[in-house]
Structure 1
Amino acid sequence: MAAQVFDVVVIGAGPGGYVAAIRAAQLGKKVAVVERENLGGICLNWGCIPTKALLRSAEVFHLMERAKEFGLSADKIGYDIDAVVKRSRGVAKQLSGGVGHLLKKNKVTVIMGEAKLAGAGKVAVKTDRGSDELQAKSIIVATGARARELPGLEADGKRVWTYRHALQPPHMPKKLLVIGSGAIGIEFASFFNTLGADTTVVEVMDRVLPVEDAEISAFAKKSFVKQGMKIMEKAMVKQLDRSADKVIAHVELGGKVEKLEFDTVISAVGIVGNVEGLGLEDAGVKIDRTHVITDEFCRTGVDGLYAIGDIAGAPWLAHKASHEGVMVAELIAGKHAHPIKPGSIAGCTYCHPQVASVGLTEAKAKEAGYDIKVGRFPFIGNGKAIALGEAEGMVKTVFDAKTGELLGAHMVGAEVTELIQGYIVGRQLETTEEDLMHTVFPHPTLSEMMHESVLDAYGRAIHF
C-alpha cells in the first residue's frame, strides 16, 4: 500500500496534539493525527476534566451540608457515588466528541492506532485493519505521560488505585490513604474526604503541595486538617500488605515505621513520559528520565521532529501542552513563533480550598537574589468572600523592590483558579506594581483582593 503523504503528522491527540493539528490545518497544512485510545487524551478523558466534574459534585454536597448557614433547609442529604461517576464520565464523553468534531471541521485526518517513527519523515501506524504508512516533512510527538508506579506500591485496581481507578472507583473508600500530595493526590484526597472517607495523606517532602509557596501550603494544610484529613509530612510508604478487603501500609516517619490499616490506597507519586515503542532513540532523539530533550521551540535536534506537552518535560500541564502545540504549528508554517516562558505558566489545584499560582514563590525569589516586597490580603477582609460564605483564603504577591515587576502571585481559597489569570495577563504584559495599583477593580468581587494584595506590598492596603 502506498504511503499517505501529509505536511504534518501528529502522534497523540491530547491537549497538545489535537491543538497542534488544528492550528497547523488552519495555517493551510495537510495534517494527520494518530491516537491509540481517546481523542482529547488523558486530560480530557481521564484527568483534568472528569476530576473537575467529580470535585464539583463534592463541592455541591459540601454546600448542601451547610444549607442552614445560608438560611436554607436541606434534609436527608446524601449521594450516589455511581451517579456522581456517571455524570463525570458523561462530561468527558461530551468533550471527547467535541474534539472529534473540531478535527473533522478543520479537515484533519484522524487515524486510530499505534504510531512508530519509521525513518526520516515516516510514521508506521498499527491499526485494527492492519498497518498504514504516513509520510510528512514535520512530525510532532505528543504522546503524554502516565502515572508513575513505585516498586511494591503498584496499583491493582481493587484496593490500590491510580488516578484512573479513582475516577471509576470500584467501591467508596471508608478509610483512604493517598500517597503523594501534588495536585492529583490532593484533589482525590479532597474529593473522597468531602464525601466522608477517613482520609490520610502521606507526603515525602516537608510539606503538602510542595511546589507551592510555603505560606500557601501551610494555609491549605490547616484547612485540610480542619476538614478531618490526616497529613503526614516527611513520611514514606515503604510497603503495602494487601488482602481481599484491606491494605496494611508500612509508613516511615521520623525513623520509625508504623503499620496503618486502610481499605483503599491511591498512589499519586508523579508521572513518567510515554516514550516507549515510538522508535525515538533509533531516530536519534535524546531522552532523559522518560522525557524527550528539546530546545525552547520544542525541536528535538532531529530534523523535522518536535516533541510537545508532558513528554517534553515539566511543567506537566495541559495548557502548556496546548500552547506548545500552537507554537510548533506556527513554526512549521514559517510564522514568527514565541517560545513559552515557564515562569508565566500558572498551576491550578482544584482541592477545597482551591490553590493557584504563577511565577516565583517568595523563597525562590530570594534565592534568585531579588530584593523583594511581599503583599498579602485575607479573604476575611473581602465583602464578596463573606457574602459567599467563603471567608477562608489568602492572596499573596511578590514584587521586585527595584523595578516593581510582579515576580509571582500565590492564592488559596474559593475560585482562585479563575482569579489567577489576572496576574498571568499582568505578567505577560510586563505590568508593574504601579499599573496594578492604578487599575480599578470592580466591587464587590473576589478580584478586589488581588488589588489589595498589591497595595499591601507597598504599605497601602485599605481594608486590612
Structure 2
Amino acid sequence: MAYDLVVIGSGPGGYEGAIRASQNGLKVAIVERELLGGICLNWGCIPTKALLKSAEVFDKINHLSDYGLTGEKPGFDFEKVIGRSRAVAKQLNGGVGYLMKKNKIDVIEGFATLEPGKDAPKVVVKLTAGGTKDVEGKNVMLAVGARAREIPAIGAVSDGDRIWTYRNALTPKKMPKSLVVIGSGAIGIEFASFYRSLGADVTVIEALDRILPVEDVEVSAEALKAFEKRGIKFRVGAKVIKVETTKDGVAVAVEIAGKTETLAAEGCIVAVGIVANTDGIGLEKLGVEMDRGHVKNDSHGKTNVKGLFAIGDCAGPPWLAHKASHEAVHAADYMAGRKLSNLNPPIPGCTYATPEVASVGITEQGAKEKGLDVKIGRFPFKANGKAIAAGESGGFVKVIFDKKTGALLGAHLIGANVTEMVQGFCLAITMEATEEDLQGTVFPHPTMSEAILEASLDADGRMINL
C-alpha cells in the first residue's frame, strides 16, 4: 500500500507527527521496532518522572516534623517503586496504541531500512513477526531518536549488572547502597537525586568545571549547594580514566588537577550524552548529508534527499522530547501545505531533580559572549510567601532583558515546581514580551509564580517584597 507519509520511530516526535499528518488528511503508516512511545515514554522521560515522584514523596515523609506532623519511621518497597514506574510507562504505551487506531494510522512492527525510491526513499521493514515488507510513501519522516553514549575505551559500557545506562538504572535488580554517576547533565542529576533520596551514597563526576554545564552559572552554583546539602558528593573538572568491575562492585579511576583518585561503589551510571540511531538504516546509500552522526535538515525538517525528513534527536540538539514533537508537527503541516507554526520557538530545558531546574533562552554568560547589552533581575523564593508556607524556600528566578528594547531574552529558575513555571517564560518569549509586559501582568497570590513578577521588577530596581 502506498502512503502519503511513512514515519520511522514512534517516540514523541514520531507519533505526534504521524497524528498531525493524519489530521491533515494524509494516509500514514508508522514503523516501530520495539514499543510505541519510543524511549521517552518507555525508558526515559515518563518512567524517570514516576521514580522521582516516589522519591519526592519519600523525602517529604522523612520531614513530617517540618510541617508539624508525626508518623512512624517511613520505609519503601524498592520493587514496588520500580514496578509503579513500569506500570506508568505501560499505561501510556497503551495510550499511544489507542491514538494510532483513533487516527487510522497503520502500525508496522519491525526494523526499517531505507533504499532509493522514486518520490521518496523506499522503506524496507524486517518484520518482528518474520519476513520483510516494502512500504512506499510520498514522504518519509525519520524519527529514530538516539541511545545512551558509552565509552568502550575506558570501560564505561553497560553490563546490565554493575555498569548501567539510563535503561538499566530504571529497572535495577536491587537497590544499590552506593553509586558513581558519570555526567552531571539532566539524566545524571535526576538519577543521582532519585537514588540519594532512597538512601544511596552517590558521587557525581563531571568533566567540566561545574555541574549542569548548559545552565546559567548562578543556577549551577545554587544547584551544587542544594545537592551537596542533600548529601550528594561531586567531583568536578574530573577526567574518568577507567571504569572496572570488582568483586564488590565497580572502581572508577578519575584524574583531577593532575592527581588520580579511585572511587569505589556498588554500581556506576554512565550518563555522558547520546548517540543518534542513524547507523545501519541505509543513509549512506542515499547520500544523506550528516553532521557528526546526526542528519542535517532545514527549518522544515527536510534533508537533502527528496521526500526525506528528519526530526528529533537523530537530527541534532537540543535532544529533548518537546523539541522533537514541535519539529514533527511542523514538518507534517509543511508536507500538507498548512499554515506553519513558529520556525524558531524558544525550547525550554528541565531537570526534574530535588530541587528542580528549568531554563529557556540565553544565559547571562551567553549574552556577554554575544556582546549583548542586558539587564538582569533576580528574586529568591526565600522571600516568596507561598514558597515559605510550602517549606520550599530554596532557589530563585533570574530573568535577562535586552537593555535597549526591554525584550525578554532568557529566564533561569531553580526550586520547587519551576519545571511548570518556566512555560510562562516560553510563552512570553514567543509573544515577544518585554519587561514592561511582565511587570504589568497580575500574578495570583499567593503563588510561587509571583517570583516571576518580582524578578522582572528587580531588573529595574523596583522589587517590592525584598
Q: 1:358-437 counterparts in 2 under 5 A?
A: 358-437=360-439
SS at match of 1:45: helix
Partner of 2:209: 206
Tell whether the 8 Å contact from 1:297 to 1:339 is kept in structure 2 after alignment: no
Match of 2:259 among 256, 259, 266: 256
Q: Distance in 2 between matches of 1:141 and 1:367?
A: 35
Q: Which amino acid aligns with 1:459?
A: G
Partner of 1:129: 130
Q: 1:253-332 counterparts in 2 under 5 A?
A: 253-332=256-335
Q: What do the CA deviations read for 1:286-328 (whole angstroms, capped 9, x no partner)?
A: 1222111111111111111000000000000000000111001
Q: Distance in 1 between matches of 2:406 and 2:341?
A: 24
Q: Distance in 2 between matches of 1:286 and 1:444?
A: 52
Deviation at 1:339, TM superposition (A): 5.2
Q: Distance in 2 between matches of 1:368 and 1:184?
A: 29
Give the 4+ runs in structure 1 shifted more than 3 A.
none
Q: What do the CA deviations read for 1:158-188 (whole angstroms, capped 9, x no partner)?
A: 1110000000012211111000000000000
1:82 aligns with 2:79: yes
Tell whether the 8 Å contact from 2:115 to 2:285 is kept in structure 1 after alignment: no
Give aligned-pair identity as a percent. 58
RMSD: 0.9
Q: Distance in 2 between matches of 1:5 and 1:244?
A: 57
Q: Which amino acid aligns with 2:68?
A: G
Q: Which amino acid aligns with 1:141?
A: L
Tell whether the 8 Å contact from 1:375 to 1:458 is kept in structure 2 after alignment: yes
Q: Distance in 2 between matches of 1:287 and 1:172?
A: 41
1:14 aligns with 2:11: yes
Match of 1:246 among 246, 249, 257: 249
Q: Which amino acid aligns with 2:391?
A: G
1:45 aligns with 2:42: yes
Q: What do the CA deviations read for 1:413-438 (whole angstroms, capped 9, x no partner)?
A: 00000000001000000001111111
Match of 2:93 among 84, 91, 96: 96
Q: What do the CA deviations read for 1:343-378 (whole angstroms, capped 9, x no partner)?
A: x10000001100000000001011111111000000
- 114-123 or 196-205, which deviates more: 114-123
Tell whether the 8 Å contact from 1:159 to 1:245 is kept in structure 2 after alignment: no
Q: Which amino acid aligns with 1:331?
A: Y
Q: What do the CA deviations read for 1:366-414 (whole angstroms, capped 9, x no partner)?
A: 1111111000000001000011100101000001000001010000000
Match of 1:170 among 158, 173, 190: 173
SS at match of 2:93: helix
1:119 aligns with 2:116: yes
Q: Distance in 2 between matches of 1:74 and 1:297?
A: 56
Q: Distance in 2 between matches of 1:113 and 1:292?
A: 22
Q: Distance in 2 between matches of 1:213 and 1:435?
A: 24
SS at match of 1:100: helix
Q: Distance in 2 between matches of 1:129 and 1:239?
A: 41
SS at match of 1:281: helix
Tell me the TM-score normalized by structure 1: 0.98
Q: Distance in 2 between matches of 1:11 and 1:217?
A: 37
Q: Which amino acid aligns with 1:326?
A: V
Deviation at 1:241, TM superposition (A): 2.2
Q: Distance in 2 between matches of 1:144 and 1:346?
A: 19
Q: Please, which runs of 5 or more residues in structure 2 have no aligned partner? A: none
Tell whether the 8 Å contact from 2:180 to 2:263 is kept in structure 1 after alignment: no
Match of 2:236 among 233, 241, 244: 233
Q: 1:330-349 counterparts in 2 under 5 A?
A: 330-338=333-341, 340-341=343-344, 344-349=346-351
Deviation at 1:245, TM superposition (A): 2.4
Q: Which amino acid aligns with 2:90?
A: K
1:138 aligns with 2:139: yes
SS at match of 1:301: coil
Q: Distance in 2 between matches of 1:462 and 1:54?
A: 38
Tell me the TM-score normalized by structure 2: 0.98
Partner of 1:63: 60
Q: Please, which runs of 5 or more residues in structure 1 have no aligned partner? A: none
SS at match of 2:222: helix
Q: Which amino acid aligns with 2:199?
A: G
Partner of 1:442: 444
Match of 2:30 among 5, 17, 33: 33
Q: Residues 192 and 340 (structure 1 numbering): CA distance in 2 closer, same or farther, change over 3 Å? A: farther
Q: Distance in 2 between matches of 1:278 and 1:168?
A: 29
- 330-339 or 157-166, which deviates more: 330-339
Q: Distance in 2 between matches of 1:74 and 1:393?
A: 28
Q: Which amino acid aligns with 1:145?
A: A
Match of 1:220 among 219, 223, 227: 223
Q: Distance in 1 between matches of 2:52 and 2:238?
A: 27
Q: Distance in 2 between matches of 1:257 and 1:297?
A: 48
Tell whether the 8 Å contact from 1:65 to 1:74 is kept in structure 2 after alignment: no
Q: 1:442-461 counterparts in 2 under 5 A?
A: 442-461=444-463
Tell whether the 8 Å contact from 2:22 to 2:28 is kept in structure 1 after alignment: yes
SS at match of 1:282: helix
- 117-126 or 50-59, which deviates more: 117-126
SS at match of 2:172: coil
